[in-house]
A and B are shown apart, each in its own frame.
Chain A
Amino acid sequence: MGDIWAFLLQTCTASGVAVLLLIVKAMFRDKLSPRWQFAVWGILGMILLLPAGLGGRYVLLNWPMIVETIKTALTGSYTLTQVTAPIPLPKMFAPATLWDWLFWGYVLGVIVLLARYLISYICLRRALHSGTPADTQTVARIQAVADQYHLPTCRAVLIEGAGSAFLCGILSPVLVLPTGTKTDDKVLLHELLHRKYRDVIWGLVICLLRCIHWCNPLLWYCANQAGNDLESLCDQRVLERLEGEERREYGRILLSMANEKYARSPGTSCASNGGKNIRQRIEAIVRFKRYPAGMALVSVCVAVALAAPLVFGSQAINVYNEEGRLSGHADIDLSLASARTTWCTTMAGALDAYGKSLLTDSGTYRAMCAPLSQQAEIAHVMHQRQDENLWPTWDTGLSMEADQNEGYYIYNLHPVGEGTYEALVAVKLNGAPDGQREENKMYLAYQQVLVQKEESRWVVTELGELELIEARDASMLWGVEELPAYTYTGTAANFQVKVFFQKSLVVNNTVQASSSSSWFFGPTSAFDTVPKPGAEFDEVYHTQWSQCIFLGSQEDKAAITRLGLSVAPMDDGQERPALQPLSKGSGGGSSSSGESWSSQTLDPDWGPIVSMAGGGSGGHISTDNFLPPDSFAADLYINGEKVAELTLRPEEGGAQ
C-alpha cells in the first residue's frame, strides 16, 4: 500500500468480507461448531493478506471502481490505484498534498500502535522475570492436569496483581498465575490447551492486523470477535474433555471472571477476556454439544463454498458506460473509473475495445485500452463536450459515423518488439465523407496502432491520424486491396513480380439481435458493440493478390501473349515448395495452404501492370503466430513456358 487510496481499497475490500462473515456466522451461530466459527476468520485473514484488486479482480463489490471514483472526485486524478502489498510501504518523499499527509498520518498510527503493543509485551516479559516461580505444589498440579489430558506443560510463574491465569510467549511460553489464589484445574486445562494448539500465534496475527487497519472500527470489532471465538474454541476443547457436573463448574468459573478487567497484549492468551465476551462464551457453553464426525463434511463444504468466491474474487466483465446514475462530470468519472479498473487482459481484448470505441465514439471504451497517461486527456474531452451540452463522447477524429453492424477489422498484426505489436484497425463508414456515394464503393477509416502491455493492462496507442479511403465494396474479412499490405517482390525475365499479403484477425462478436427476428427466417444476428476485455482472436484470414510489372522494351512486350504466375508462402530455412504447374489455358485457383496460381491471355494493348489472381484462406485460429510469411516462392510463365523460379522477398517497412 503506497498511498492512502491503496489503503482505502484494501481496507474497504476487507470490510465487505467482514460484513458478509458476520452475517454468515450469525446464520450458523447455533448450527456449526466453535472450530468452524473461528476457522472462517481465516478467510478474512487471507483477504487482508492478499493485495486488493489483484489481477483486476474485486471481492463482493467493485471496490476498485468505487475507490477510483472517489479519488477522481476528490483529487481530479485519473491514475490507477494498485495495491502491491497488504502492508503500508510509504515512498520516501516529503508529503505534498493533503492525501500524502493523510497517508503519513496513517503510517504513523501503525507505527505508534505497533510500538504500544511491543512496549506492553516487553513490560509483561519483564514482569515475568521479576515474578516468583510457581511452588512445587502448583507445579505438581499443572503436571497432573497435563498428564491427565495428555497435554504439554510449560514453566509457571506467579505474579502479584494478575487477574487470572494466562499464557505468555510463543517460542517458550510461560503460564502466568495470580498469587494468593488457587487457580482451578479447569482454568489450568484451558491454558494448557492454548499451549498445545499454539493459540498465542493467532493472537499475535490478530494484533498485527489490528495495527495495519487501526483506523477501521469494523475490522477492530472483527478482531475482537475472532479473539473471542478463539477463547470459545478453547472452551469447547475443555468441555469435550470434561463430564457432567465439571462442565457446569467450568461455566460457573467463567461467570466468576466476568467482572475482571483484562489487558490486551500481543503474544498472550487469557481465559478471562472481559464481561461481554464471557457472556457470549457462556451462551456457547449452554449450546455445547459434541459435534458428530459427519458434521466435518458440511463444515468444510460451507467454508469452501464461502471462501472460494471471496479469495478468487470476481472479474469485472462489463464496463459502466455513462448510464446516468450520477449527475454532471461525476457520471463520466464513474465510467472512466470503471474503464480503468476493467482493464484489457489480452491483446485481442485491447484491440476489441479500441475498435468498438471507434464504432461508438465511446470515451469509456477508449479509456479501457488507453495508456494511463492518456486517461486525463480523454476525461478532459468528455467533460468539455458535456459542458457544451453535447453527448460526452470521445473525439475519434471521424467526420461521420462508423457502420456499427459491420464491426471493426484488425489487419496485419505483427510483433515489433518484446510484448509490443503493431496492427491496423479499420472501420466501414456509413457513407462517403463528401456525401457523394458511388456505386459499388465503400468508404473506410483506418489507423495504425501500437498494442503493448502496461503492467497488467494491455493498451493501445495511436500511431497516426485516422485515414479515410474509398475502396471496392466487398467483404472486408478477406482483405481490402486499398489498405496497406505486406509486399513481396522479385525480378526476372523483364518482370517485377509483386505479391501483396494481408492477414485479418477476428474476435467473435456475433450476437442474436433481440429486436429483429422473423417467424420465417428466425432470429437475426448483429455485431456486439460491448467490449470484451478478455477476448481472444477466434478466426484468422489470409489474403494475397499479385501483380506482374513489365520492365522490358516494346519489342519484347509485343512477343508476350500469355502470362502465368504460381506462388506459395515460404518460411526461411524451409525447402522451396513444389508450386502448382500452369497449363496452357487460362484460369487460376488457390488452396488453403496459401498457394495461388493464375494464367491469362493478354490483350494486345496490355499495360505494364498486369493484375494476377490471388487467393485466401481462413477459419478458426489454431496458432498465436501472427507473423506474415518470410517470403513467397513464385514461378513465372510467359507464353505457356516457365521462364523463372523466383523467391519474393518482403519490402522494407512492413505493411504499406
Chain B
Amino acid sequence: MTHRQTMYSALSKAAWGYFFLYFDINLGSVSILPSFVGFLLFLSAIQQLKDERRDLELLRPLGTLLAAWHGGNWLASWLGTALDGRFPILDLIISLAGVYFHFQMLTDYAALAAKYQQPEQNLDQRLLKWRTCQTLLLTATSLCAHPLRFLTDLWEPTLIVLALAGFVTSLCIMFTLFDVRRIFRDDVQSKEPQ
C-alpha cells in the first residue's frame, strides 16, 4: 500500500469510526452499529498513522480501554442490561478518557490536514473548531451525567440537548474528515510533505 493509500484508508476509518460512534440503530436492545466498532476503527487508523504522528501512538491505551468498555456494554445489551451507571467510578474514568482521546486524535488529524492540504484549504482550522466544540460538549455531558443530576431536575432535558448538539458536531467532524481524505485520493493533487 502506498503512503497516499495508507493515509486515505486511515482517514476513511477515522470518519466511519464517528459514524459508528454517534449513529445508533437498534434491533430490540442490541445496536447494529455498535460504538466499540467505532473505536476499533480509530485504533486501526492510529496504527496506520503512527509513523506520521508519533503522538497518536500515545492514544492506543486509551482507545483500547474505550473499545473494551463499549464492547462490554454492547455484550451486556444482548443480555438486556447495560454497564452504564452500574460502576460510577468507571463511568467517570471512561468519560475522562473519551474527552482526551477525541481531543488529541482530532488535534493530530488537524496537524495532518495542515501538512498536506492545499494552501487555500482550511481543513485543519475546521477540524480544530469542531474538536473544540466536541471537547466542550463531552465535558458538559460528563457534568450532566454526574454532579448536575443531583443538583437540578433540568439535567435530563439538558442531556438531550447536548446529545443533539453532539450528533450535529459528529456529523461535521465526519464530513470534515472525509474532506481531509480527499487530499489523498489518487486523482487529487496534494502538496508534498514538508
Contacts and interface: CB of A to CB of B under 8 A. Distances in A.
Interface string B117-144: 0000000000010001001101100110
B139 A27 contact: no
Interface in A1-33: 20, 23-24, 27-28, 30-32
A297 B143 CA distance: 16
Contacts of B142: 305, 308
B168 interface: no
Contacts of B104: 31, 298
A76 interface: no
Given A20-B89, A297-B103, A298-B103, A31 B58 contact: yes
Given A20-B89, A30-B58, A294-B107, A305 B150 contact: no
A161 to B, nearest CB: 44
Interface stretch (B41-49, B90-98, B154-162): B90-98
A304 B143 CA distance: 8
B62 A27 contact: yes
B146 interface: yes
A379 B114 CA distance: 70
B109 to A, nearest CB: 13
B100 interface: yes
A305 B143 contact: yes
B120 to A, nearest CB: 23
Contacts of A298: 99-100, 103-104, 135
A302 interface: yes
B151 interface: yes
A60 B147 CA distance: 11
Nearest to A309: B146
A27 B92 CA distance: 13
Contacts of A57: 150
A302 B96 contact: yes
A24 B139 contact: no
A309 B147 contact: yes
Interface string B59-82: 001100000000000000000000
A27 B135 contact: no
A301 B139 contact: yes
Contacts of A27: 61-62, 93, 96-97
A297 B131 CA distance: 10
Contact of A308 (B62, B136, B143): B143
B135 to A, nearest CB: 5
Contacts of B107: 294
B93 A60 contact: no
A305 B99 contact: yes
A252 B12 CA distance: 45
Q: Which of A24, A298, A311 has the most CB of B within 10 A?
A: A298
Contacts of B150: 57, 312-315
Contact of B88 (A23, A31, A32, A314): A314
B150 to A, nearest CB: 5
A34 to B, nearest CB: 16
B100 A306 contact: no
A32 B100 CA distance: 9
Contacts of B146: 305, 308-309, 312
> Which size bracket describes the interface of A in this complex?
20 to 34
A30 B132 CA distance: 21
A309 B92 contact: yes
A312 B135 CA distance: 22
B89 A301 contact: no
A473 B119 CA distance: 84
Interface residues of B, number: 27
Contact of B99 (A20, A30, A301, A312): A301
Contacts of A30: 58
Nearest to B146: A309
B128 A31 contact: no
B100 A31 contact: yes
Interface in A299-357: 301-302, 304-306, 308-309, 311-315
Contact of B139 (A305, A311, A313): A305
Given A30-B58, A298-B135, A308 B147 contact: yes
Nearest to B143: A308
Contacts of B135: 297-298, 301
Nearest to A306: B96
Contacts of B139: 301-302, 304-305
B1 to A, nearest CB: 29
B115 to A, nearest CB: 15
Contacts of B138: 301
B17 to A, nearest CB: 19
A304 B146 CA distance: 12
Contact of A60 (B89, B95, B132): B89
A293 to B, nearest CB: 12
B88 A60 contact: yes
A105 B143 CA distance: 41
Contacts of B88: 60, 309, 314
A313 B150 CA distance: 9
Q: Which of A20, A31, A32 has the most CB of B within 10 A?
A: A31
Contact of B100 (A28, A60, A315): A28
A312 B103 contact: no
Interface in A268-320: 294, 297-298, 301-302, 304-306, 308-309, 311-315
Nearest to A534: B150
A314 B148 CA distance: 10
Nearest to B107: A294
A312 to B, nearest CB: 4
Nearest to B62: A27
A27 to B, nearest CB: 7
Contact of A301 (B58, B62, B136, B151): B136
Nearest to A32: B100
A306 B89 CA distance: 10
A24 B89 contact: no
Contacts of B92: 20, 305-306, 309
A28 B99 CA distance: 12
A301 B89 CA distance: 18
Nearest to B128: A294
Contacts of B132: 297
A28 B97 CA distance: 9
A312 B151 contact: yes
A302 B143 contact: no
A308 B100 CA distance: 17
Contacts of B61: 27
B72 to A, nearest CB: 18
Contacts of A313: 147, 150
A32 B92 CA distance: 18
Contacts of A311: 147
Contacts of B128: 294
Contacts of B100: 28, 31-32, 298, 302
B59 to A, nearest CB: 8
A57 B146 CA distance: 13
Q: What 9 pairs between A and B have smallest CB-CB spacing?
A: A309-B146, A312-B147, A301-B139, A305-B142, A298-B103, A308-B147, A315-B150, A309-B147, A305-B139
14 contacts: A32-B100, A57-B150, A60-B88, A297-B103, A297-B132, A301-B99, A301-B103, A302-B96, A302-B99, A305-B92, A306-B92, A308-B142, A309-B146, A314-B88
Given A20-B93, A27-B62, A311-B147, 4 more contacts: A27-B96, A32-B100, A302-B139, A313-B147
